[in-house]
Amino acid sequence: MSVLKALDGAALARVVASYRDALRAHQDELNRLNVYPVPDGDTGTNMALTIESVCAELGDAERMDDVCQALAHGSLMGARGNSGVILSQILRGLADTFRDRDVIGSDDLVAALRHASDAAYQAVVRPVEGTILTVARAAAEAAEAARGAGDAALRTLLEGVGAATNAAVARTPDLLPVLKEAGVVDAGGAGFTLLVDAFLHVVDGRPLPEPTMGATPAAVAAHRRGDDASALRYEVMFLLDAPDHTIPAFKEAWDAIGDSIVVVGGEGIWNTHVHTNNVGAAVEAGIEAGRPSKIRITDLLEQVEEEHWVRQAAEQPPADQAPPAVATAVVAVAVGDGIRRLLRSVGVHAVVAGGQSMNPSTAQILDAIERVPAESVVVLPNNANIVAVARQVDALTTRAVQVVPTRAVVEALAALVCYDPDADLDTNVQAMTEAAGRVRAGEVTRAVRASVTAVGPIAEGDWIGIGPGGICAVASSAVDAAVTLVEQLVQDDSELVTVLVGADARGADTDRLRDRLGLAFPNVELEVHEGDQPLYPYLLGVE
């Protein structure tokens, strides 16, 4: 192909698509490098998901202003994790420079790389060298040096930038001791170099680099085992509608309660990220500044457990242990050692890790479906947020897939009583749906911030019981909240109460709960199982 001397809107769109392809291909490699700021092995995933959001908004656009709008807005709205939020600010910096041009030449690229680097540094409350910030600045400096030396050709400029960013990535362990200790380079910085590769791929047709998989660093492996409990347990992200002048005070408020703080955006809309132990204060700071939305709170300890199940579910059983083929198999979504064992004991063939804070993707559910020994599959999503995702899978596989829309694990357990592996799909779905519909489910958890509900005010730290209609119990202990919740769920014809005990529930509390429910409902059978689920000491079902 001929070498491009400038990029129009259609060519920039191809750069975006090429960057998406490169991040997809290198996703696992980047995840293995990810030891900073938390060794949670998700930098590649978060960067790929962020650019996927851009491509979804981009569609077939080829006009420069439309491509830049998708680049800026799509990355802002779809940014995931610390690395994704920083990447979104870099992409926004490029878009802000390019949007008023008919074509992008060398001078435009130089200005854009400088603007992107400066914007990324400004977005991070406490910038750290040896990260993607360092690599983005190296790109800007190399571009400016090349222009100063008279290297005006776009390809020559990009080659110089590529060499500089690769060298900067190689130096990151010298700037960040945690990288040197782990024997890796910075994952976000490595992900940034792929953007330069994508530009070169479009400009002169050179192939995108192939991924190289190394050993998983000990820090990442320890995180995946759950051996590295972080001092800051929660990751909080949300979109914030707020006037620009409120953001400095918002950043100061977050700086007092956490780290890994990134705030990107402008003109009234911001994407925000922090690691903290004070979820309530993090959200309240957003309320003080404006209106938070799409609030996403991830318990980093819970995430470790869920990631563990994702990896374990992906492991193929040895050939001599392959389960026998059945007419209809079952795939369920859940988290917790006990729940996983319980589901398998009643017929589930594959468990996909997922819960309230970490919904699985369509791809993860599809992968589990493709591995089960049946051409017909029932999916039990076990969470209202996962039902819609699960329903997309049928169109992506040659297997017949139907979803029984369970919104809690206790509903799935009731449905599985009616499961017949030798029956056809329609017969199973009908019977399992009816059985799940007879369950009244509830859960006990702790309030992360104060609020007012139909049952009265809630203070941060109160125990709350949540039933089919929302919060229906507020108490000072998990046991009191559970008992009140069961009182709301039990009806005259109820025969069984099922309790799934969470990982953080105390044995003495569970014994008290068992005794109190036995006294309150002597004519109702009580089953108590170890679920080991995080965040919810008790999951309850009444049927």
Comparing CA positions, the residue from 241, 142, 129 lying closest to residue 189 is 129
Question: What angle is formed at CA 295 by the lines to CA 291 and CA 301, rounded to 5 degrees?
Answer: 145
CATH classification code of 9-218: 1.25.40.340
The answer, yes or no, to whether residue 226 has pLDDT greater than 60, is: no
Instruction: Tell me which of 471 and 213 has the higher pLDDT.
Output: 471
| pLDDT band for position 442 (cuts 50, 70, 90) | very high
Contacts of 319 by beta carbon, 8 Å cutoff, 6+ apart: none
Q: Determine how many CB atoms are found less than 10 A away from the CB of residue 220.
A: 24
Q: Average pLDDT of 506-531?
A: 90
125: DSSP letter = S
What pLDDT is recorded for position 314? 40
Report the distance separating Cα 151 and Cα 159, nearest Å. Answer: 11
pLDDT band at 107 (very low <50, low <70, confident <90, very high): very high
Instruction: Return the bridge partners of 499, or none.
Output: 528, 540
pLDDT tens for residues 377-407? Answer: 999 999 887 888 788 888 888 999 999 999 9
Percent of the chain having pLDDT more than 70?
A: 89
Is the confidence at residue 214, as pLDDT, over 80?
A: no
| Boundaries of every domain in the chain | 9-218, 234-302, 323-437, 440-542
Does residue 341 have a pLDDT over 70? Answer: yes
In this predicted model, what pLDDT tens digit does every residue of 465-510 receive, in sequence order? Answer: 999 988 999 999 999 999 999 999 999 999 999 999 988 888 888 8
- Residue range 351-384, pLDDT digits in tens: 988 766 566 777 788 889 999 999 999 999 998 8
Over residues 176-191, mean pLDDT? 89
Q: Provide the 8-state DSSP code for 104.
A: B
Angle 425-437/409-417 helices, nearest 10 degrees? 130
100, amino acid identity: D
Beta strands in 251-343 (DSSP E): 258-266, 269-276, 291-299, 328-334
Whether pLDDT at 215 is above 70 = no
The mean per-residue pLDDT over the stretch 513-524 comes to 90
323-437 has CATH 3.40.640.10 classification: no
Which has the minimum average pLDDT: 70-84, 213-227, 456-470?
213-227
Residues 241, 242, 248, 254: is their CA dihedral positive or negative? negative
DSSP, collapsed to helix, strand or coil, labels residue 303 as helix
Token pair of 471 as six digits: 């919060």
b/e per residue 180-208 (b: at least 16 CB within 10 A) = eebebbbbbbbbbbbbbbbbbbbbeeeeb
Report pLDDT for 116.
94
pLDDT at 421: 93
pLDDT over 80 (residue 102) = yes
Maximum Cα–Cα distance across the chain = 88
Give me the CATH topology for the region 234-302.
Alpha-Beta Plaits (3.30.70)
Fold classification of 440-542 is: Hypothetical Protein Tm841; Chain: A;domain 3 (3.30.1180)
Beta bridge partners of 501: 530, 538
Residue 40 in this model has a pLDDT that exceeds 70: no
- CA gap 527, 543 in Å, rounded: 12
Q: Which strands make up the sheet holding 269-276, listed edge to edge?
A: 258-266, 269-276, 234-241, 291-299
Sign of the dihedral defined by the CA atoms of residues 106, 112, 115, 118, in that order: negative
Quote the tokens at residue 504.
């953080």
pLDDT above 70 for 303? no
Is residue 225 predicted with pLDDT exceeding 80? Answer: no
Residues 2-20 have a mean pLDDT of: 94
pLDDT score of 356: 61
Give me the DSSP letters along 23-87: HHHHHHHHHHH--SSS--S-HHHHHHHHHHHHHHHHTT--SHHHHHHIIIIIHHHH--HHHHHHH
Q: Which long-range contacts (CB under 8 A, 24 or more apart) does 262-265 make?
A: 262/82, 262/85, 262/86, 262/89, 262/123, 262/124, 262/125, 263/123, 263/125, 264/76, 264/79, 264/85, 264/86, 264/88, 264/89, 264/92, 264/119, 264/123, 265/76, 265/92, 265/240
pLDDT at 320 over 60: no
Mean pLDDT value across residues 41-46: 80
Average pLDDT for the chain = 86
Q: How far apart are CA 189 and CA 307, in angstroms?
A: 23
Q: Which one, of 18, 11, 161, 17, lies nearest residue 101 by Cα?
A: 11
Least confident of 220-224, 333-337, 345-349, 482-486: 220-224
